[in-house]
Amino acid sequence: MEEERAMTRNDTPYLSDRSFVEAVRAIQADHPAAAAVHQEMCLLYTGRVLADLLRGRRG
């Protein structure tokens, strides 16, 4: 079983960019199901960014 790589500070800009891209795709999606998937991905990426920022403030 492969261990998931820990997120580093350098991942934050990437995750933020991915969140933005997914938000745009959700808005532009022609099908409601596709929009929902992109919105969920946006929220997941945003959550990872926020978690990283909170860890950085505590550490």
Instruction: Report d(CA 8, CA 52) in Å as an integer.
Output: 8
- pLDDT of 42: 98
Q: Is the pTM of this model over 0.85?
A: no
Q: 12-59 pLDDT, tens per residue?
A: 999 999 999 999 999 999 999 999 999 999 999 999 999 988 988 543
* Three-state secondary structure of the chain: CCCCCCCCCCHHHHHHHHHHHHHHHHHHCCCHHHHHHHHHHHHHHHHHHHHHHHHHHHC
- pLDDT of 11: 85
Instruction: Report d(CA 37, CA 1) in Å as an integer.
Output: 27
- pLDDT of 58: 43
Going by C-alpha positions, the residue among 23, 2, 16 that lies closest to residue 53 is 16
